[in-house]
Each structure stands twice: as C-alpha cells, then as structure tokens.
Structure 1
Amino acid sequence: MTEQSNILTTRQGHPVRDNQSTRTVGERGPATLENYQFIEKITHFDRERIPERVVHARGAGAHGYFEAYGKIGDEPASKYTRAKVLTQTGVKTPTFVRFSTVAGAKESPETERDPRGFAIKFKTVDGNWDLVGNNLKVFFIRDAIKFPDMIHAFKPDPITNRQEAWRFFDFVGMHPESLHMVTHLKSPWGIPATFREMEGSGVNTYKLVNEAGEAVLCKFHFEPKQGVRNLTSAQASAIQAKDVGHCTRDLYDNIAAGNFPEWEFCVQIMPDGPNEHLSFDPLDDTKLWPVDQFPLLPCGRLVLDRVPSNFFAEVEQSAFGTGVLVDGIDFSDDKMLQGRTLSYSDTQRYRVGANYLQLPINAPAPGVVARTNQRDGQMTYTVDGGPNPNVNYEPSVLGQSLKEAAKPAREYHQQVEGKLGRYQTSRTTDDYTQAGERYRTFEAWERDDLIDNLVNDMKACPEPIQLRMVWHFWHCDEDYGRRVAEGAGIDLEKAKALPPLPGRAAPHKALTAETYTDGSNAKGNTQGNAPSRQAAE
C-alpha cells in the first residue's frame, strides 16, 4: 500500500488537508457558503439512507400549544426580542412535537441508550418556528464537518451490521470534546424513563433581537413539570423484555387520559460578543452555560393535548429545520448550528420531497398563507400564488408580482471581520473541566451506573482504545478514571503515561471532589439540570 493510498480525498480525488474544521471568518465564524468540502460531505451524508431518516428514525409525536408569559424572567420579553411568539400573552400558538431516538433504526427499542430528539414546530402568526433539539443540553462535536464521521462511528459496523463499542470509543478517543456528552449519555441520563419526564434543549446558541435591533446570545430549554426520571441499564433491560415502544405508549395513554404533559420554556441570556472573560466559548455546543452565571429564565409553557390521527402523515412526514426562524430569533455563529441549517432542510427535501412544506403537518398555521415564486417539483399539489399566476418572479414593471415585506425599523447588523481559514479555537480546547463537573454532580447511584456501563464498553475495546479513554476520564476526574480502569482491568499507570493527542497540549491536572455523597458537588452545580430527579421504580 503506497502512502498516497492512505490520503483522504474528495470524490473528485482532491486531497483533504483539513477534515476537522469548516472555513470561517475568524476563529468564531461565521462559516462561508464556499465551504465546498463540507457541503459535498454533508449533502452526501444526508442521502445515505432510503427512506427512513438517517438519524432520529424512531419517533413519536403529539400536538399541543405554547403560551408565552410575556416576560423572560422578571423582565418584559420585548426587552430582548420582537418575536411575537415570545412577547404576546393570551395567545395559544399551535405546536407539534416529535420525540425520537438518534442512532437506532425505525423499529429500534425506545429503551436504547441514546440521546432523545426533542423537535418542536411552533405555528406562529409570523409563520413557522422550528426548534430542533435534544433532551441533553450538550453535543458530541462542535463543528458540523465532523457530523458524518460521528454518525458513521456510532451506527452499525458496515461489515458486521452491529453497533460496536470499539467504533464509538475510537471516535470519542480522538475527539475529547465528546467526553462531556459521553459522561451524560453513559449515565442514567442516557435513558429517560419516558418522553414526558425528560428535559428538552435547543443545544445550539441562538440570538434574540429586539425592536431596536439589539441582540443577545441565548440558549433554549424545556423543563418538565412532571419531573425528571431516568433508567438504569438494568431497569431499561427489564422494560425492553416486555415492550420496545414504552415511551410512545406512555405518551399516548397519558394524553388520552387527560394527563397532558407540560414543560416550562426557559431561556439563558448572555451579552452578544466574544465574551472573552469566560473560560469557555458560548458558541461551543459541547459546553454548558453555568446556571449560577446564566440562570434559566422562564418565558412560557408548552402543553401537549392531542395525539396524531395518522402516524405516517403527521409523525413520519413531519419535517423540521434549524433554519426555520421567525423575526426576533436569529442565528449565532455556532458552527454546528450553521451546518445543521443546511443539512436539515436538505435532508427533508431528499427524504420527503421538494414540496414537503405543502404537507399539512409542515405547513404554516391556517391564516398564514405561503406565497412564494417556487413552482413545480415532485408531488406538488398547490401553487403558492401571487396576484397574477403568470408572474412567478419579482419585481415586475407591471406591478403584478409579489412584494417584499417591510423591513424592521431597526435591523440587526452583526460586525464580521477576520481572516478566512480553518480554526480549532484555543478557548474550546478544555474538554475536561465540565465533564469532570458533570461526574461530580451525579448522585452515587448515577455514578455507579455510569461506571458499570463504561466498564462493559471498555471490555469490548482493544487495549489502545482502553488506555486512551482511561487517560481522558482520569483528566476529567481522577476518581472517574481510576474506577473505569479498575473495573475493566486496565493498567491506570500505563494509561496516564500516554502523551496528549497529536496537536493538543496536555490538559490541566484532573480535578477531584473532596467527598462523594448523594447529590453532592465539591465545586458547585453549574450543569443546569433539573434540581429534582430520580430513577424509575
């Protein structure tokens, strides 16, 4: 095998010289449309499966409504945003929510250890707003160019057609930004007891824009009024032996009985800008915003009160996209958000069709009429008409075309300046501190389940992966690394002797908690989880 045969290339045979970062204007973005390598990679990835979703294939959904409080915390919501869905009180905005697992196939069990999708379509008076998130507040990677690699590693082996622990941890071992998410996922938080009893999060960083054209950074969260409840591996196995769709059944049965699940919608807010005083980049979706610095501010409630009348028409054909925003809610330069915004809508056009937005489940609310100059395409059944059906362009000398909407009195203008390049920013290289904090906030039973799950996984991995993962866990927290090593029979001293990953500096020495008692955290809880949680009975 020649050296050249080991070189990663594009489909055109061009050598790939950086497969870790998208091209951005400066370290913090935004990304540029001429990211050809990324666009080719992500659009091919979007088309890898027929016909089910590449990810989030297993799902359930329900209809409901959202009511804004008119405030964000103690302040009028209009201080931060001009979005009517968040500022107008007394309005029940129709919503459709789809819950899902991520990696499993369409018929996979709902007891799988996997992040849960939490996608919400708000049918507002200004058109649709899609908030496409997960139950966990962080993610595995911070640059969208890595998403196809991540899912390939987590999906079944292309030879054995089985999900393999060594493939998962081979990827994680080379991407320590995943440690925070892995610490969540391999604990009981990786298996919510029901959809009703799990949190939701937008995960990515967005912006709120007010009438004055002023912006703040924000994160969106949903806290269940039913409380948070998770499963240990043993509890999940016992349920799976009897029911592979227990979450769907629980959701539908409770709605039918009038026990409508409800979540409080909360926002975290931060001044717009680089925020260089922080030890983490607020645009990095592998990091949490500490709630002691950026509290969860209530701004509304989400209620689900009706199940679909046809699963395929409403749940399977529902289509969400992170680019579907309303005026007053805007994009940040979060690299994962910008990549998702291309990928999600591109996937829906491939999976459902070019006219997927004409389907009732995806169309705006009654009274909000779509008027575009888009025409034709597979399965079109209506024309988004203007005043003259012959004029499907604009502008028109005859004045018979659709007109642009009035611009806001004061538009938001972001200052963008920087050198075009591929960056892995220095502020995001500490991938250990928050993972260690997460470990120390766990109660004893949660830590025990986390360690048991990781020990079983490590036993299925070859020694190089075992050693590297113990090295990572030890740098998160010494007790964390030691317990995994002891449980799996891995030489801790040999693991600690490993050098840092290529191109990365050695992380700071691992932190340790002074005591480990149920609910304790020697450094304080900055994780932003619901204060009350329990294991399923």
Structure 2
Amino acid sequence: MKKRVLTTESGAPVADNQNSASAGVGGPLLQDQHLLEKLARFNRERIPVGAPPTPLGQWGRVVHARGGGAYGHFEVTDDVTGFTHADFLSTAGRRTEVFLRFSTVADCLGGADAVRDPRGFAVRFYTAEGNYDLVGNSTPVFFVKDPIKFPDFVHSQKRDPLTGRQEPDTVGDFWAYPPEATHQVARLTGDRGIPASYRHTNGYGSRTCQWTNAEGAAFFVKYHFRTNQGMGGLGAGQAAELAGRDPDSHQTDLLQAIERGVNPSWTLHVQIMPAAEAADHRFNPFDLTKVWPHRDYPLQRVGRPVLDRSPDSVFAEVEQAAFSPGSFVPGIGPSPGTMLQGRPSAYADAHRCRLGVNHTLPAVNAPKARTARNHGRDGLMAANPRGLHAKNYEPDSYGGPVETGRPPTAPLAVTGHTGTHEAALHAKDDDFHQAGEPYRLMSEEERRRLVANIAGGLSRGSRDDVIERNLAHFHAAGPEYGRPVEAAVRALRED
C-alpha cells in the first residue's frame, strides 16, 4: 500500500519528523528568549475586534490590518528549472491558483486607503505540494535589519498610547536611531509612497530566499513583481482629497476593475545569486535594508500572476487570510537572513493568536491540491476531524502519514559561537550609500517633491534634537541630498 505523506498545516511534505533543525549537529535551537518574548507579546497587543474579549473574538492584525485581495492564477512563462525544482515552476505554461492580499502597514482597520504607507503584497500559491506564501511589500527594502527591532519599529509608527494618534516626534525619534532606516524613509516619502491604487504598484519579496535545483545546487533569490498597469502615485493633496471622498478607494478600484474584466496582472522577475558568491559579496546580500544592483544580478523573468476573481466574503477570505513566510514548498526555502529567520514563527504565532489553532482550515488558508495530513487535533472551532479513527502520533503501525526523508532545500552553512552578534561587515557595507541612490537617480522635479515630503514630516516634530539626528542621516546619504532637506526643514520651522 502506498504510504501517505506527512505534511505541515499548509500541505507541504515533512522531510524529518524525528529531529528538530538546529545550527549544526547539536547546535542551538530557539534559545533567544528575549526575541521570542518580544514577538509573542507583540502578537497579543490587540483586543478582539467586533466581539467581546472572549476566545471567540476575531482578534485584529497588529500590522497590515486594512487590506483587500483577489484570486487569480500564476502562469509560468520562462524556464527556471536550472535554479529550482519547485513543482509549480517546472513547466512553461503551467498555471497555479493564487490569492493576493494588499494592505496598508501602519494604519488600523478603519483607516483610509490613500495614505503614505508601504503596501503589503502577499501572494499565496496553491501548489500541488502545498501552499507557498510569498509575503512582501511594495518596497524592496525595509526600516530595520533584525527581527528583534520589529516590535520597536511598529510601536513607533502606530498611534501613541497617550494621545491615540500618530505623533511626529515619536516617528522621527525612531527613524533617527537606526541609520539603516534612511533608505526606506527615502522610498516611503518619494512619489511611490502613496500608490494610485493596488493595481498600480509593484510588489517585492524583499527578503532573500533560497532556491535549490534538482542536483542540489543552491541559489539566493530576490522576487520582483512589476505591475503591468504602469506605476502610479498620488501627491499629498490628491491623496487627502481622495481619502476624504472615498476612504475605500483602492479596494473600490480593484473590485470594479475585475468586474469590468480589466484583470490586473504583474510580471514576476527574480534576481539570482549563486550561493557561493554570498560570503564574499561586497555588501551583505541578506540585509533587508539593501537592494541588489541589477547590473550585478539582472532581472530574469519567471511568470505572470493575473487577478480575475473577487472574494465572496471580505471577512472570510481577506480578513481571515493568514500568510506565513515559513510556508515553503520543496525547492524553495529560507536564506540565513535574520529578518526572514525571525518571521516564520512570529507570523504563525500571530495567526494562532488572532484566528486560533485551526487557522489553516478556512478555505482561503487550506491547501487545494492535497489535504493536510498531520496530527493536529481538537482546538477552538475544529471543523475537520482529519480521520476519526486515525492515530494522532508518528511513527505508528497503523498506516498513518510518514515523513519523506527528502530535504526540501539545500542546507545552510553555520560557523561560530552562540550569542548575540552584529552581522559580519562586508567590504562595502554601509547604511547610507544605497539610501542616497534613489535621490541621485531622480529628476529635479522628483527631488523637489521628495524634499518637500521629508521636510513636511520632520518639521511637524517639536524636538530639535530629533530633527538634527534625522538631518545627519540625510547628509550622510549625500551632501547633495542633505543640504536641500535641511534648508527646507529650517524654512518650515521658521514660518
């Protein structure tokens, strides 16, 4: 009798159910209690939305609370089998069902769409080997480079606990400390900081992933979803008018476009770095605050996602959608990047807190091609007994699902001692050169708008020391960048 395969909750096959992954043989496993405590507490800092504070309440997302989404398909257009043995990427012309959720990051569920904020861009591929979740943003970089700083970052950008509003001094104070935030600040305050719609923005995997081919060769990969509708952004005045007239503008646009048959699409490209090149690259390729120059690793086309069906229920499908950067499929896995390493457990924990232990059972989260086979049982809102008479342990002698014994990706090399460490510096590592590059590539009109946006935000703060620390970062990104920003801030402060 053919043995059934043991799977994760997302339907991906389990290679080894006897040994936990560790940093080398006998190496450490989940020992950073401070990191785990910060992330777990962060996930529980909201009360249920629209229900009493009971276990049956629908807990709100701490970030990415406001969003919209749609279903569609992803079609492979180019051969990438030399880089990955992922089944859904194996054949040109192959189609895989997808669900794509867009979101704002900092604002609450009742906020407006047309605001200056990064956009979440989360894609779920319902593959034959389980769900693959590609969780990204509308920008290729982020504000911080270590997951232990993520709760601090979000706290600084959310509504102040005393005043109940976003405070310029708090936002600016955090930005003034981690110098690596300067790169993302430039992208957030530029012309793309307020997208015209969900359809008119790019998406990026942001974090670096690992692909493994059939021969076991490993490659590090960055994802780029380029919109086929053309990039479009809103000026501050346009955005304020639109947010007041239609707070749901982006959701309205997406819904109406699909109703008209104008199905939005993107072209997926990847940058591919042979794994052996990572250690000696001139900067840390796993640093989430940096991009890989295209001249080093050109974009290679992979395929095309198209959205053609709106959800039947926003609550059941958009709000209950639960993505995780840890939902990989064979041929695709994590890189050693610290942000990616810290996020899978945090995302999954957030979903168990927000939706319950059975968060993978709703249709939007369940794998399509196979039933998840594991030994999870019971729990709040259990809807699938997963075999009333099956044993819920492994191994067993009753024909239960078994591990595959086939590693899904190539192993990551580890060296050194346990402890907290700053990332090893590469020859060209710094936090400011790339932060200044977008400015140097802009037209004069684009620079003028960027400077006005930065100065408008900084000048609203009341603390001179916070403003001066931020100005120092822009000067470090380039004197041609820092001088006009400082002049604009001083002019506004004198008015």
TM normalised by structure 2 equals: 0.89
Q: Match for residue 370 of structure 1?
A: 372
Q: Match for residue 61 of structure 2?
A: 53
> Could you report, residue by residue, the CA deviation over 1:17-72 in whole angstroms, capped at 9, with x for unpaired residues?
xxxxxxx979xxx995111110011100011112210000000010000011241x
From 144, 147, 166, give the equivalent of 1:144: 147
Are the equivalent residues in 1 in contact too, given 2:282–2:429 (CA < 8 A)? no
Relative to structure 1, the CA distance from residue 334 to residue 399 in structure 2 (aligned partners, 3 Å threshold; closer, same or farther) is: same
Matched, 1:443 2:443: yes
Q: Match for residue 386 of structure 2?
A: 384
Are the equivalent residues in 2 in contact too, given 1:41–1:148 (CA < 8 A)? yes
Q: Match for residue 182 of structure 2?
A: 179
From 158, 162, 186, give the equivalent of 2:161: 158
Q: What amino acid sits opposite 1:454 in the alignment? A: I
Q: What amino acid sits opposite 1:480 in the alignment? A: Y
Are the equivalent residues in 2 in contact too, given 1:66–1:302 (CA < 8 A)? yes
Q: Match for residue 39 of structure 1?
A: 36
Q: What amino acid sits opposite 1:467 in the alignment? A: E
Matched, 1:464 2:465: yes
- 1:333 to partner: Cα distance: 0.6
SS of residue paired to 1:129? strand
Are the equivalent residues in 2 in contact too, given 1:265–1:298 (CA < 8 A)? yes
Q: Match for residue 170 of structure 2?
A: 167
> Could you report, residue by residue, the CA deviation over 1:62-119 in whole angstroms, capped at 9, with x for unpaired residues?
0000011241xxxxx1110000111223322111110000000001011111000000
Q: What amino acid sits opposite 2:383 in the alignment? A: Y
Q: Match for residue 407 of structure 1?
A: 406
Q: Match for residue 394 of structure 1?
A: 394
TM normalised by structure 1 equals: 0.82
- 1:477 to partner: Cα distance: 1.6
Q: Match for residue 101 of structure 2?
A: 98
- 1:261 to partner: Cα distance: 0.4
Are the equivalent residues in 2 in contact too, given 1:467–1:490 (CA < 8 A)? no
Q: Match for residue 527 of structure 1?
A: none
Q: What amino acid sits opposite 1:267 in the alignment? A: V
- 1:443 to partner: Cα distance: 2.4
Matched, 1:293 2:296: yes
From 412, 415, 420, give the equivalent of 1:422: 420
Are the equivalent residues in 2 in contact too, given 1:265–1:299 (CA < 8 A)? yes
Distance 2:193 2:29 in 1: 34
Distance 2:306 2:130 in 1: 20
Q: Match for residue 521 of structure 1?
A: none
Distance 1:283 1:384 in 2: 39
> Could you report, residue by residue, the CA deviation over 1:335-379 in whole angstroms, capped at 9, with x for unpaired residues?
0011111111110111011101011110011x4111111111110
Q: Match for residue 485 of structure 1?
A: 486
| 1:107-506 matches, cutoff 5 A | 107-273=110-276, 275-365=278-368, 367-385=369-387, 389-396=389-396, 398-405=397-404, 407=406, 412-425=410-423, 426-427=425-426, 430-461=430-461, 462-489=463-490
Distance 1:67 1:81 in 2: 16
Relative to structure 1, the CA distance from residue 390 to residue 224 in structure 2 (aligned partners, 3 Å threshold; closer, same or farther) is: closer
| 1:6-45 matches, cutoff 5 A | 32-45=29-42
Are the equivalent residues in 1 in contact too, given 2:211–2:409 (CA < 8 A)? no
Are the equivalent residues in 1 in contact too, given 2:335–2:412 (CA < 8 A)? no
Distance 1:170 1:25 in 2: 36
From 53, 64, 70, give the equivalent of 1:62: 70
Q: Match for residue 524 of structure 1?
A: none
Are the equivalent residues in 2 in contact too, given 1:207–1:216 (CA < 8 A)? yes
The runs of 5 or more residues in structure 1 that have no matched partner are 1-23, 72-76, 492-537
Are the equivalent residues in 1 in contact too, given 2:391–2:398 (CA < 8 A)? no
Relative to structure 1, the CA distance from residue 452 to residue 31 in structure 2 (aligned partners, 3 Å threshold; closer, same or farther) is: farther
Runs in 1 of length 4+ with deviation above 4 angstroms?
none
Distance 2:422 2:405 in 1: 39
Q: What amino acid sits opposite 2:404 in the alignment? A: A
Q: What amino acid sits opposite 1:415 in the alignment? A: A
The runs of 5 or more residues in structure 2 that have no matched partner are 1-21, 48-58
Distance 1:414 1:159 in 2: 45
Distance 2:215 2:303 in 1: 23
Count of aligned pairs: 456
| 1:520-535 matches, cutoff 5 A | none
- RMSD of aligned Cα (Å): 2.0
Distance 1:258 1:142 in 2: 40
Are the equivalent residues in 1 in contact too, given 2:78–2:301 (CA < 8 A)? no
Q: What amino acid sits opposite 2:484 in the alignment? A: R
Q: What amino acid sits opposite 2:104 in the alignment? A: T
- 1:221 to partner: Cα distance: 1.1
- 1:278 to partner: Cα distance: 3.0
Q: Comparing both chains, which one has the higher relative contact order based on Cα–Cα distances under 8 Å and sequence gaps of 6 or more? A: 2
